[in-house]
């Protein structure tokens, strides 16, 4: 399984749906990926539990990779501390550098 890019990530997947939550490294704001239904490999019915578990694990991994990539667009990467933070935690406008988190901006301003 891929490592999530945020420090905290939660797997909200269930038996027939894949969903992941990512959290802002600074304030913990949650962002959830769009739920993806488990397709059972495209088979209408899978009788073998072992096969079903394998299919689930496979789709689960793929769904996580997708969610991880998608989540990156909802967070901002601070080039100073390396944290992934939400928009309110990111210094998007105003004076000074705009590619750092507000924590690093405050430190720089001191």
Q: Which is nearer to Zn ion, 29 or 46 (CB)?
A: 29
Structure token digits, residue 54: 């394998």
Q: Which is nearer to Zn ion, 1 or 108 (CB)?
A: 108
| Closest approach of Zn ion to the CB of residue 75, in Å | 8
Binding positions for Zn ion, rule: CB under 5 A = 24, 26-27, 29, 78, 80-81, 85-86, 89, 101, 104
Closest by CA to 38, choosing from 21, 20, 18, is 18
* Residue 18 DSSP class: E
| Closest approach of Zn ion to the CB of residue 33, in Å | 17
| Closest approach of Zn ion to the CB of residue 99, in Å | 9
| Closest approach of Zn ion to the CB of residue 25, in Å | 8
Burial of 74 (0-12, 13-18, 19+ CB in 10 A): middle
CB 16 within 8 A of CB 39: no
Q: Which is nearer to Zn ion, 36 or 85 (CB)?
A: 85
Q: Which is nearer to Zn ion, 42 or 94 (CB)?
A: 94
Structure token digits, residue 103: 């924590």
**Can you tell me the distance from the alpha carbon of 56 to that of 60, in angstroms, rounded to the nearest whole number?**
6
């Amino acid at each position: 399984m891929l490592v999530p890019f945020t420090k905290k990530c939660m797997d909200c997947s269930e038996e027939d749906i894949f969903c992941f939550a990512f959290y802002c490294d600074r304030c913990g704001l949650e962002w959830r990926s769009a739920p993806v239904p488990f397709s059972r490999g495209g088979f209408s019915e899978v009788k073998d539990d072992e096969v079903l578990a394998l299919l689930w694990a496979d789709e689960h991994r793929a769904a996580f990779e997708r969610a991880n990539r998608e989540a990156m667009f909802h967070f901002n990467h601070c080039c100073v501390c390396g944290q992934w933070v939400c928009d309110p935690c990111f210094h998007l406008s105003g004076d000074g550098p705009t590619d750092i988190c507000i924590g690093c901006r405050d430190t720089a301003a001191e």
